[in-house]
């Protein structure tokens, strides 16, 4: 039994905790009142701050009576951690990208300035010893100038393009070409220094021809780069099967002779355009059904509670045996219920399909009625300057409340409410009104799931992929090669099969041999 002093101390602590909780609730009420007052005094359209994410009301379809731009902005601790991680990753990628670009620019300047230096250095070091340049020598100047111009444009078109992605390893063929060009230019400089600079050769036409041979060799190396980097991968050699790990969505593509990392890049480019958007809400139904199935099982002990003395004494084997019997009873009950679970699944799917068709019918009717309330003005009507004239944005805001409730109920039924915000729907509605689209064209984006790029940038912009492969990512594709592309929510499993060799034969059939006879039987009506 506790003493009165201890009980009084505990009561004082409880009272202090209650006072703190009451103070927090009062402070929360003050904050809510202040936000509501600021929202009422805010202008119709509020500008969104940089780097903040506007919060979306889940009941925008039920509470939408007029369209305003008011919103509150907040950042959670998880958002701050995610932004910090994204900044660290972006800094590393930017440094790597700028280093590669700087190295390419330095090598390009070395390549293009080398032929010019071959022609200029003799005039600067020993101009009095040089022989006069004739007509053929002056014609070579024009040849060098135009070849350098062609080489400059070709290098710009092939190498100086915006990168599509950041790969984990260096591109082997591009690195080999860079090393080849560097060795080639250094060899020319070594020969130029030994045979021309040291001896101060006076045959200027021979020096010009030497520079022309360098430019010709650089053009041939560029042709080799086109073959290795662009033409080699055009012929399909492998068929890859891409499967999403969560819902089993599958696509097949044909790829050429690529390394694993470049094949992964090609798969991701196809994924964003071909695969429907990943919807984790559709996957929670089976998990909730399984949890509900297991939660409905209970085990009762009809003999009463097992004595604690037996559990603690030498008879604890009896307690273990009873727990084992309870587990077996639960497994047996689960097996009996599994026999009837398919009926529950069938009726749940049928009820869901009925609700989807019902919501879809209401949505189609609501959108068609909303589109009848607006009319595009003709040019002669615009000259009359009527009173109520709206731009596409204002027209979308005017007709959106009449369809908002039906649209939100349909999106909730199909579990797409997280993919479409109220602002994105209004922008799409204004786009359809501007381009004179029909209600069916407006609804197409919501009746069926589209590719990932169709949705907002938050669904795909900040997604980082990790390439998982048993083999080196710089090695080429082979028959039976398997690798994964993993992100936070799911992964893409890629299986490679080699396209078989096809043997075709020819058989000639004479057109005159196509002759037929009519077979008559006694039962026929002919």
Question: Over the stretch 513-523, which tens digit does the pLDDT of each residue have?
Answer: 888 888 777 66
Question: How many angstroms separate the CA atoms of 218 and 465, rounded?
Answer: 37
Residue percentage of the chain with pLDDT more than 70: 66
Residue 253 pairs with which residues in a beta bridge? Answer: 240
| pTM of the predicted model over 0.85 | no
- Segment 510-515 shows an average pLDDT of 87
Report whether pLDDT(447) > 50. yes
Query: Poorest-confidence range of 39-53, 59-73, 113-127, 129-143?
Result: 39-53
pLDDT level of residue 60 (50, 70, 90 thresholds): low
Residue with the bigger pLDDT between 13 and 337: it is: 337
Question: Over the stretch 417-446, which tens digit does the pLDDT of each residue have?
Answer: 888 888 889 999 999 999 989 999 999 989
Do residues 454 and 445 touch, judged by C-beta distance below 8 A? yes
What pLDDT score was predicted for residue 67? 42
Do residues 241 and 481 touch, judged by C-beta distance below 8 A? no
Question: Over the stretch 92-138, which tens digit does the pLDDT of each residue have?
Answer: 556 767 777 888 888 889 999 999 999 888 888 887 888 877 788 88
Query: Poorest-confidence range of 59-68, 225-234, 278-287, 451-460?
Result: 59-68
pLDDT level of residue 68 (50, 70, 90 thresholds): very low
Question: How many angstroms separate the CA atoms of 386 and 447, rounded?
Answer: 36
DSSP letter, residue 73: E
What pLDDT score was predicted for residue 237? 93
pLDDT level of residue 497 (50, 70, 90 thresholds): very high
Residue count of the chain, please give it.
526
Query: Poorest-confidence range of 137-146, 296-305, 432-441?
Result: 296-305
- Segment 315-325 shows an average pLDDT of 59
Interacting residues of 167 by C-beta distance below 8 A, sequence separation 6+: 261, 262, 265, 473
What pLDDT score was predicted for residue 133? 79
Report whether pLDDT(18) > 60. no
Question: How many angstroms separate the CA atoms of 279 and 246, rounded?
Answer: 10
What pLDDT score was predicted for residue 387? 58
Question: How many angstroms separate the CA atoms of 477 and 238, rounded?
Answer: 8
Residue with the bigger pLDDT between 501 and 384: it is: 501
Do residues 341 and 293 touch, judged by C-beta distance below 8 A? yes
pLDDT level of residue 211 (50, 70, 90 thresholds): very high
Residue percentage of the chain with pLDDT more than 90: 33
Burial of 198 (0-12, 13-18, 19+ CB in 10 A): exposed
Do residues 474 and 262 touch, judged by C-beta distance below 8 A? no
Do residues 122 and 196 touch, judged by C-beta distance below 8 A? yes
What pLDDT score was predicted for residue 253? 95
Residue with the bigger pLDDT between 147 and 66: it is: 147
Report whether pLDDT(361) > 90. yes
Question: How many angstroms separate the CA atoms of 61 and 408, rounded?
Answer: 5
What pLDDT score was predicted for residue 65? 47
pLDDT level of residue 324 (50, 70, 90 thresholds): low
Question: Over the stretch 176-193, which tens digit does the pLDDT of each residue have?
Answer: 999 999 999 999 999 999
Residue 239 pairs with which residues in a beta bridge? Answer: 254, 497
Residue with the bigger pLDDT between 385 and 480: it is: 480
Do residues 234 and 256 touch, judged by C-beta distance below 8 A? yes
Please report which helix (H) or strand (E) contains residue 250, including its range: strand 250-255
What pLDDT score was predicted for residue 366? 93
What pLDDT score was predicted for residue 295? 54
What pLDDT score was predicted for residue 345? 79
Do residues 202 and 131 touch, judged by C-beta distance below 8 A? yes
Residue with the bigger pLDDT between 389 and 401: it is: 401
Residue 468 pairs with which residues in a beta bridge? Answer: 484
Do residues 215 and 115 touch, judged by C-beta distance below 8 A? yes
SS (HEC) of 445-491: HHHCCCEHHHCCHHHCCCCCCEEEECCCCCCECCCCCEEEEECCCCE
Burial of 251 (0-12, 13-18, 19+ CB in 10 A): middle
What pLDDT score was predicted for residue 252? 95
- Segment 19-34 shows an average pLDDT of 41
Burial of 520 (0-12, 13-18, 19+ CB in 10 A): exposed
Question: How many angstroms separate the CA atoms of 130 and 244, rounded?
Answer: 71
What is the rounded average pLDDT for all residues in the chain? 76
pLDDT level of residue 380 (50, 70, 90 thresholds): low
Written as six digits, the tokens of 227 are 């073959």
Question: How many angstroms separate the CA atoms of 38 and 422, rounded?
Answer: 21
Question: Over the stretch 273-286, which tens digit does the pLDDT of each residue have?
Answer: 899 888 887 776 55
What pLDDT score was predicted for residue 524? 56
Residue with the bigger pLDDT between 404 and 296: it is: 404
Query: In 3-state terms, the chain is what percent helix, strand and coil (to 5)?
Result: 60, 5, 30
């Amino acid at each position: 039994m506790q003493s009165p002093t201890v009980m009084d101390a505990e009561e004082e602590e409880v009272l202090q905790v209650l006072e703190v909780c009451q103070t927090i609730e009062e402070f929360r009420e003050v904050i809510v009142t202040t936000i509501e007052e600021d929202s009422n005094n805010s202008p119709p359209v509020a500008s969104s701050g940089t780097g903040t994410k506007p919060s979306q009301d889940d009941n925008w379809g039920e509470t939408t009576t007029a369209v305003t731009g008011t919103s509150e902005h907040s950042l959670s601790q998880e958002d701050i951690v995610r932004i910090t991680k994204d900044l660290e990753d972006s800094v590393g990628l930017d440094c790597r990208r700028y280093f590669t670009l700087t190295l390419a620019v330095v090598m390009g300047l070395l390549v293009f300035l080398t032929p010019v230096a071959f022609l200029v250095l003799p005039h600067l070091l020993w101009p009095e010893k040089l022989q006069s340049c004739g007509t053929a020598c002056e014609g070579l100047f024009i040849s060098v100038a135009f070849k350098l111009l062609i080489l400059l444009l070709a290098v710009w078109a092939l190498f100086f393009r915006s990168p599509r992605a950041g790969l984990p390893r260096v591109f082997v063929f591009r690195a080999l070409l860079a090393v080849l060009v560097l060795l080639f230019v250094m060899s020319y400089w070594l020969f130029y220094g030994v045979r021309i600079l040291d001896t101060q050769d006076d045959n200027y036409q021979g020096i010009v021809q030497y520079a022309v041979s360098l430019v010709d060799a650089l053009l041939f190396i560029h042709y080799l780069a086109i073959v290795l980097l662009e033409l080699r991968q055009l012929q399909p050699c492998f068929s890859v099967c891409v499967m999403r790990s969560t819902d089993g969505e599958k696509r097949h593509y044909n790829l050429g002779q690529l390394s694993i990392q470049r094949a992964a890049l090609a798969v991701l480019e196809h994924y964003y355009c071909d695969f429907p958007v990943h919807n984790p809400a559709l996957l929670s139904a089976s998990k909730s059904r399984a949890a509900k199935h297991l939660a409905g099982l209970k085990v009762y002990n009809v003999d009463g509670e097992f004595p604690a003395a037996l559990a603690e004494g030498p008879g604890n084997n009896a307690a273990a045996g009873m727990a084992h019997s309870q587990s077996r009873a639960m497994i047996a009950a689960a097996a009996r219920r599994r026999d009837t679970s398919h009926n529950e699944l069938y009726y749940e799917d049928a009820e869901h399909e009925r609700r989807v068709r019902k919501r879809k019918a209401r949505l189609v009717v609501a959108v068609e009625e909303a589109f009848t309330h607006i009319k595009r003005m003709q040019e002669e009507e615009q000259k009359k300057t009527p009173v109520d004239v709206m731009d596409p944005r204002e027209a979308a805001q005017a007709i959106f409340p009449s369809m908002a409730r039906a649209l939100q109920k349909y999106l909730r039924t199909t579990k797409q409410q997280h993919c479409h915000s109220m602002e994105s729907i209004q922008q799409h509605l204004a786009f359809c009104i501007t381009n004179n689209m029909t209600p069916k064209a407006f609804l197409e984006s919501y009746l069926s799931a589209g590719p990932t790029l169709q949705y907002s940038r938050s669904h795909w912009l900040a997604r980082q992929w990790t390439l998982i492969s048993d083999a080196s990512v710089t090695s080429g594709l082979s028959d039976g090669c398997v690798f994964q592309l993993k992100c936070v929510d799911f992964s893409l499993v890629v299986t490679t099969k080699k396209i078989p060799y096809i043997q075709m034969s020819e058989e000639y059939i004479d057109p005159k041999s196509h002759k037929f006879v009519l077979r008559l039987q006694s039962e026929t009506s002919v």
